[in-house]
Amino acid sequence: MDGSNTTGDGDCARRFLFDDADIRGECAALEDSYRDILEMHQYAPGVSRLLGEFLAASVLLSTNLKFEGKLVLQVRSEGQVPLLMAECDHELRVRGIAQGAEQATAGDNDQLLTNGQLAITIDPLRGQRYQGIVPFSGDSLAQSLDAYFEQSEQLKTRIWLAADGDRAGGLLLQQLPAQVARDDSVRQRQWEHACTLAATVRDEDILDLEAATLLRRLYAEDPVRLFEPLPVLFQCSCSRERTLGALATLDPADLRELLAERGAITLDCEFCNQRYRFEEADLGDVLGGPGSKTLH
């Protein structure tokens, strides 16, 4: 197998291809980006693990985006975590949050995300937004995503995920349109072979091993081409301008009332805890007041 990069993978995604089969794959590893997100919130171990899996999955799926935009994985549930969400954009910038999880202490998905509904949203900067929804499996996010791809008419896809509150990672396999092998029985046999070997992967393998080592262990007899790593980093997409835009959707009378009561309006980003403060002079365009200016 060609895996010339011998440095640590760190925070990255690495694509690989099977030379004799129409199958592509992706390995994702998150360390600093995952820790940066967790440091902003006080999550219990079970929530931290689950959020790590969501972040890793969002990276794996975003590597296939052919446009500028983002992919969002989101679960709403009746369990201890009402809303859990991870985002990754086309530049592999990630962010994530577990809303209402302050009292969540369970370690298993059934209690954390009881009766959860998993939404996969493709949100391009230009073009139509797309969303697919499936029930969240109590067993794992990976199984829920597998079920999503099975029920859709997309390419066959399998995912394996792991997280431990310190590191997160994942492995993806996807069958490509027929080019190398055009016989259906051959394609099916190759797909089953790749998935059977990948299913032997352990959580510690995903978290501890660099992509080159992991693929060498899984596919020692198969010609696999490993590509250079693409960096993954935590970066929130919030901004003062976007926050001002959100205020612009509110009734100006309500904004004036808040300004009269508090002297200023403050909004905190739930993802990164950044605080944005707006005084009356900053809200001139929003309030429609004459002679006022908007500060950026």
Q: Where are the domains of the chain?
A: 12-234, 240-287
Tokens of 88: 């990754």
Cross-strand pairs, 180:
none
| 12-234 maps to CATH 3.65.10.10 | no
pTM of the model: 0.84
pLDDT at 294 over 60: no
- Residues 20, 21, 22: CA angle, nearest 5 degrees: 140
Please give the Cα distance from 119 to 101 (Å, whole number). 19
Strand 233-234 with 93-99, pairing: parallel
Query: What are the tens digits of pLDDT across the range 25-69?
Result: 999 999 999 999 999 888 999 999 999 999 999 999 999 888 899
CATH topology assigned to domain 240-287: CBS domain Like (3.90.1280)
98-154 per-position pLDDT tens digit: 999 988 999 999 999 999 999 999 999 888 999 999 999 867 999 999 999 988 867
